[in-house]
Amino acid sequence: MAKSKPKKLSLLGQPSPMPASPDKAVLERVPNPHPDTDYVARFTVPEFTSICPVTSQPDFAQLVIDYVPDKWLVESKSLKLYLTSYRNHGAFHEDCTVEIGKRLVKLLGPRWLRIGGYWYPRGGIPIDVFWQYGKLPKGVWAPDQGVAPYRGRG
């Protein structure tokens, strides 16, 4: 049985402007070359930004996205552009973090996915948000996300 040819990726190899909003961003996927193997792929986003929907002030976070792919991998340039589109998007920390996780699950249908949103303080209180889909397959190593809790200066 011949493999079907994947659809052409629309963002790779050409200039791609930042999407106006997360809803307008195109997330693309590519075939997983090892669908018979359970492994963890990780994306670390050290400079994620969004806008507070109340004050219109910028919010900053470090995101860590881990997933065990099934048939699909997220194409990294499209992920970068999607995440960048939050720079002008007004949403609370919880909404941003969970929405990113849900959108990736809808696109990829992974065996397991978790996202940690480590948000910098706003009003003196840091807010960390964690969301997970599915169960980590038995025998798969998912390392700690490696982000220390916020401790201020010192």
Q: Which amino acids are annotated catalytic?
A: 52, 59
Q: How far apart are CA 89 and CA 82, in angstroms?
A: 11
Give the chain's radius of gyration (CA, Å).
17
How does strand 72-74 pair with strand 29-31? Answer: antiparallel
Q: How far apart are CA 99 and CA 80, in angstroms?
A: 15
CB 81 within 8 A of CB 116: no
Q: How far apart are CA 133 and CA 104, in angstroms?
A: 10
Helix (H) or strand (E) holding 128: strand 128-134
Q: Which residue has the tokens 């949403």?
A: 91
Give every strand in the sheet of 58-68, ordered side by side.
Answer: 41-51, 58-68, 112-119, 128-134
